[in-house]
Amino acid sequence: MQHIFRIILLGLALACTATVSAAQQTPEERGKAHFNDPKLGGGTSGRSCNTCHPGGKGLFGVADKMGWATPAGRSRTLEDAINICITKALNGKPLGVKSREMQDLIAYLRTLKPKP
Ligand code: HEC
């Protein structure tokens, strides 16, 4: 009987740690998770950002640019470029420009510094 209680307690402890660590994620960490999530924007293509930009490939220094080149032409804002990739490449719906998901994604893209 005691054995069962220990297992239940252990389970509860693990559940608590998981909840706390999810809540403590930084915007950059959440953005990286979105970057790897094929369901971002409700995407149905099975592709995530990381499929075509593995480890941020092609996106180093992207947050510091003044204009962006996407599979559907030029974009004047980073949010627009991201949303084009979400709609065209992930088959998803565009994210709100001010949404937390968008802000987190951009926080992650900012960590991709240009290679010296
Ligand atoms: C099917 C492949 C594919 C997927 C998936 C994809 N992209 Fe792209 N992305 C591209 C291509 C191709 C370009 C254009 C690159 C070029 O012409 O320089 C691009 C361009 C971009 C640019 C502009 C780069 C620049 O320097 O101007 C950004 C930002 C970007 N993608 C972000 C994302 C994000 C964020 C995701 C996930 C939501 C994503 N992409 C998913 C293929 C993809």
Nearest CA to ligand 1 atom 17: 69
Tens digit of pLDDT for each residue in 9-66?
Answer: 666 666 766 666 656 899 999 999 999 999 999 999 999 999 999 999 999 999 999 9
For residues 90 and 38, the answer to whether their CB atoms sit within 8 Å is: yes
Looking at residue 12, its pLDDT comes to 64
Is 3 a residue whose pLDDT tops 70?
A: no
Cα 89 off chain centre by: 15
* Centroid of ligand 1 to alpha carbon of 71 (angstroms): 7
Nearest CA to ligand 1 atom 8: 85
* Site to substitute for ligand 1 among 48, 52, 60, 75, most atoms within 8 A of C-beta: 52
Looking at residue 7, its pLDDT comes to 61
How high does pLDDT run on average in the chain? 90
Rounded percentage of the chain residues whose pLDDT exceeds 70: 80
Rounded percentage of the chain residues whose pLDDT exceeds 90: 77
For residues 37 and 48, the answer to whether their CB atoms sit within 8 Å is: yes
* Centroid of ligand 1 to alpha carbon of 61 (angstroms): 13
| 48, burial (CB in 10 Å: exposed 0-12, middle 13-18, buried 19+) | buried
